[in-house]
Structure 1
Amino acid sequence: MAYNPNQYGGYQQSPPPPQQQQAYGSPHMAGTPQNRYSQPPPPQQQQQQYGYGAPPPPQQQGYPPQNYARPPPMQHAPPPGADPQLWSWFTAVDTDHSGQLTVDELQRALVNGDWSPFNIETVRTMVNMFDTDNTGTIDFQEFAGLWKYIEDWKRCFQTFDVDGSGSIDRNEMKNALRTFGYNLSDRFISVLIQKFDKYGHGGQTGKGDVTFDNFVQACVNVKTLTDSFRAFDTDNDGWIQINYEQFLELVIRQKA
């Protein structure tokens, strides 16, 4: 198995964002200077009222789409030191009032710029990243970190969504990955778009782009696979030779 850095630029360039708690591809919460995702993006043109030029359905008027979430009514007072607005979101999403958010609860609360629900796999990845006590759910403190993560990715997404369409096309994806240090071929970009175009499955012809949630998932997957590959590329030349079990190990690491 080989990856030729001389052909496509390799991964010797600056890598994507640092990990938080081994979360591949996640923006670093501390906002270190080399962290591309957590730095403020270049000034963008003012978005339309409902974001990315996609107005919400009539029953959803008034939603703040820039938060990628459904607005809850204010609940009871937040804990001392907690952000009241963030607490109101948490308590509204916590439909069973358990003090913990499940993957399903969080997925029902998150929407893309086109008002489609978040990919459940993206939500599960986010929960796993911030579930510090390994309960399979997230409490309010963990939710605060996850929300910051979403906001950082949102700013990153808006930076590369240059036409304000609410989705990332091939050229925008190529530009994003190149900025993160992955100078990949057009063929690979097309494969990536096809994989993460939510409208291009089940025999349907997709739109040739990816929504916010799948953009996050695609970038995380590229970084996770690259990190797994790099673990075997001990001389950092972009080439590896592995046997069958090592290949299985590489894949299993990526699934972990």
Structure 2
Amino acid sequence: MPLPTISAKTLENYERCFKAFDKNGDGSIDSKDLIELMRATGQNPTTAEVEHLIHEVDENGDGKICFEEFIKLMAKFGKDPQETEEQLRAAFKVFDKNQDGQL
């Protein structure tokens, strides 16, 4: 599946969010991290739902989502990119404890 066309600003926001939830810095998000990310953006998925989403975009079959797969997953949500961006910004603010723009 080719990467969706998104603005540079949205891509930057996705990257910041991805890195914030890539707890061990290995360049991937597992199902536990994805559940936390989705809950931070107002979703309440089950473990089975998240595993299904991962399976849909997990091109290399490792059970995790790399950044490219994350972008594809965000596109699969079918949300207005502006709405998704706003949710990601809100989630980022929750985890930016000292409000310095960094996690």
Specify if TM > 0.5: yes
Q: Give the superposed CA RMSD.
A: 1.9
For 1:153, the equivalent position in structure 2 comes to 14
Question: Equivalent residues in 2 for 1:115-194 (5 A)?
Answer: 120=2, 122=3, 125-126=4-5, 129=6, 146-194=7-55
Q: Distance in 2 between matches of 1:155 and 1:209?
A: 18
CA displacement at 1:171 relative to structure 2: 0.5
How is 1:1-256 mapped onto 2 (pairs within 5 angstroms)?
120=2, 122=3, 125-126=4-5, 129=6, 146-199=7-60, 206-224=61-79
CA distance in 1, matches of 2:40, 2:75: 14
Which amino acid counterpart does residue 20 of structure 2 have in structure 1? T
Once the 2 structures are TM-superposed, how far is the Cα of residue 149 of structure 1 from its aligned partner? Answer: 2.1
Q: Give CA deviations for 1:164-212 in whole Å, capped at 9, x if unaligned.
A: 010111101111111111111111111111111111xxxxxx2110111
Task: Report the residue type matching 2:67 in the other structure.
Answer: F
Structure 2 partner of 1:241: none
Task: With a CA cutoff of 8 Å and minimum separation of 6, indicate the structure with the bigger relative contact order.
Answer: 2
For residue 223 of structure 1, report the CA deviation from its aligned partner: 4.5
Cα distance per residue 1:37-62 (max 9 Å; x no partner): xxxxxxxxxxxxxxxxxxxxxxxxxx
Q: Which runs of 4+ in 1 moved over 6 A?
A: none
Largest Rg, 1 or 2: 1
Structure with more of its chain in helix, by fraction: 2
Distance 2:37 2:28 in 1: 13
Paired residues, number: 80
* Runs of 5+ consecutive residues of structure 1 not aligned to the other structure: 1-118, 130-145, 200-205, 225-256
Question: TM-score, normalising length from structure 1?
Answer: 0.29
Whole-Å Cα distance in 1 between the matches of residues 38 and 77 of structure 2? 9
1:186 and 1:178 mapped to 2: Cα distance? 12
List alignment gaps of at least 5 residues for structure 2. 80-103
Which amino acid in 2 is paired with 1:183? N
Under a length normalisation based on structure 2, what TM-score does the superposition of the two structures give? Answer: 0.68
Paired AA for residue 39 in structure 2: R
